[in-house]
Amino acid sequence: MKIAVIGTGYVGLVTGTCLAETGNDVICVDINEAKVKKMQDGQVPIYEPGLDLLFHRNIAQDRLKFTTDLAMAIKDAQIIFMALPTPPGGDGAADLSYILGAAKDISKLITDYKVIVNKSTVPVGTADKVRAVFSENTDVEVDVVSNPEFLREGVAVEDFMKPDRVVVGTTSERAKKLMAELYGPYVRQGNPILFMDERSSELTKYAANSFLATKITFMNEIANLCELVGADVDAVRKGIGSDSRIGKRFLFPGVGYGGSCFPKDVQALVKSADENDYHFAILKSVMDVNEKQKTILVEKVLKYYANNVQGKHFALWGLAFKPETDDIREAPALYIIDALIKHGATLTVFDPEAMANVKALIGDKVNYAENAYDALENADALLIVTEWSVFRNPDFERLESTLKNKVIFDGRNLYDLEKMIDLGYYYNSIGRKQIN
């Protein structure tokens, strides 16, 4: 099939590349000229494991192209995907200007039937709004489909190639047939393509992300309580996770959820509920709790130093909002850095992939280390914020000889408590006994 993908971010680029991988002809469009130039020159603009290989293979086989020319990209496309930003507007509701703007541009260019697929996360009713834009500007027939994306950054290629499910919101039989054909190769193992109406499909995405954000937040509160009552959150986690109704995944406590999706999607769903006179109590609490959890490590640090970190220097491992990505949008590390600097501390940071993005955002507010161990030079303590695998089994001898003091604040519970006792560390993690 001939496909156009508008927007080449984490979702658009993965979607375009993975659709090319099954033999489709894909043209990706972006307004960011520098980014398009980079991709035309054969460079992947984001870090996403496994994307490189597919990207280069499909470019080489002429199935994957990049352009800033919307008209050229959509001319022959049967299906046009929109993978555009939907950031929070001033009031917390999703800002639909990218989607509606692109819809308007497309509507003025098309001359034959197209399926317009919205991959962005959007509030209920957006498909109707997009449809209205088309009817205002063209007589050409279109079907507007909601097809939310569930990929996780860090395993996005795997998630796209073998999704747990594909959700397609449409009542058009014609669009349904094309979408079933397009997604067929990705669900060969038998995972479902769930067809539903557009509104249910739009809400499914928000419900999924909000449920996951709630699950993490619940565990963060259990962890906080564990510390107060002398329980171990790891034991509690395993104790509840082995109940199949609860499940083992997404039960790891930490420094709060971040990223480009959960914070904005929870907020947008609350806003949608408000607009419909529904008080979504649980999600409002989730937002409040997460706000506090983002700086829980700072609270622990301040408590340890009797509220005075003036002149202290910290090493910080992990900047990305989660491992295996360079994405730092709403990353807890940024809040932690900001709070510690406000309290008069200095930091040297290290992340395997996200350093350039942080540098571009906050410049020389912190020092950047060449590797994890260099970050420890002259540091009074180490803070661990992102659970990159490389931090899981460090050379503790090197740690001991480089850090000024054997003090670790671990926001991701990477180390065994017994081991930290043996090694003689002060070790403060989340929801577990504090080791002195």
Amino acid at 24: N
Q: Which residues bind ligand NAD (CB under 6 A)?
A: 6-12, 29-32, 35, 83-86, 98, 101-102, 120-121, 149, 151, 153, 260-261
For residue 144 the two structure tokens come to: 């507007």
Q: 346 among the known binding-site residues?
A: no
Contact between residue 376 and residue 315 where contact means Cβ atoms under 8 Å apart: yes
Q: 214 among the known binding-site residues?
A: no
> CB-wise, 84 or 381, nearer to ligand NAD?
84
CB of 28 to ligand NAD, least distance (A): 9
> CB-wise, 84 or 319, nearer to ligand NAD?
84
> CB-wise, 83 or 286, nearer to ligand NAD?
83
- d(CA 436, CA 423) in angstroms, rounded, equals 11
Q: 254 among the known binding-site residues?
A: yes
CB of 174 to ligand NAD, least distance (A): 25
Q: 205 among the known binding-site residues?
A: yes
Q: 108 among the known binding-site residues?
A: no
Q: 75 among the known binding-site residues?
A: no
Contact between residue 247 and residue 191 where contact means Cβ atoms under 8 Å apart: no
Q: 131 among the known binding-site residues?
A: no
For residue 137 the two structure tokens come to: 């500007």
CB of 118 to ligand NAD, least distance (A): 9
Q: At 75, give phi and psi (nearest 5°).
A: -50, -55
Q: 250 among the known binding-site residues?
A: yes
> CB-wise, 108 or 303, nearer to ligand NAD?
108
Q: 431 among the known binding-site residues?
A: no
CB of 20 to ligand NAD, least distance (A): 17
Q: At 222, give phi and psi (nearest 5°).
A: -60, -40
Tokens 């997604």 belong to 183
* Residue 261: active-site member: yes
- The SS3 of residue 17 is helix
Exposed e or buried b per residue across 242-256, where buried means at least 16 C-beta atoms within 10 angstroms of its C-beta: eeeeeeeebbbbbbb
Measured between alpha carbons, how far is residue 73 from residues 26, 76, 103, 181, 396 in Å? 9, 7, 14, 21, 53
Q: At 316, give phi and psi (nearest 5°).
A: -130, 125
> CB-wise, 3 or 261, nearer to ligand NAD?
261
- The SS3 of residue 67 is strand
Tokens 């020159």 belong to 41
Amino acid at 406: K
- d(CA 195, CA 115) in angstroms, rounded, equals 15
Q: 81 among the known binding-site residues?
A: no
Question: 26 pairs with which residues across the strands?
Answer: 3, 64
CA 229 to chain centre: 33
> CB-wise, 160 or 195, nearer to ligand NAD?
160
DSSP assignment letter at 31:
S
Q: Using only C-alpha atoms, what is the Rg of the chain? A: 23
Contact between residue 425 and residue 268 where contact means Cβ atoms under 8 Å apart: no
CB of 329 to ligand NAD, least distance (A): 8
CB of 70 to ligand NAD, least distance (A): 7
- Contacts of 114 by beta carbon, 8 Å cutoff, 6+ apart: 74, 77, 78, 79, 80, 106, 140, 142, 143
Helix (H) or strand (E) holding 167: strand 166-169
For residue 32 the two structure tokens come to: 């960011």
CB of 298 to ligand NAD, least distance (A): 26
CB of 338 to ligand NAD, least distance (A): 22
> CB-wise, 151 or 255, nearer to ligand NAD?
151
Active-site annotation holder among 18, 28, 226, 261: 261
> CB-wise, 84 or 226, nearer to ligand NAD?
84
Annotated binding-site positions for NAD(+) = 30, 35, 86, 121, 153, 264, 329
Annotated binding-site positions for substrate = 150-153, 205, 250-254, 258, 322
Annotated binding-site positions = 30, 35, 86, 121, 150-153, 205, 250-254, 258, 264, 322, 329
Residues tagged active-site:
261
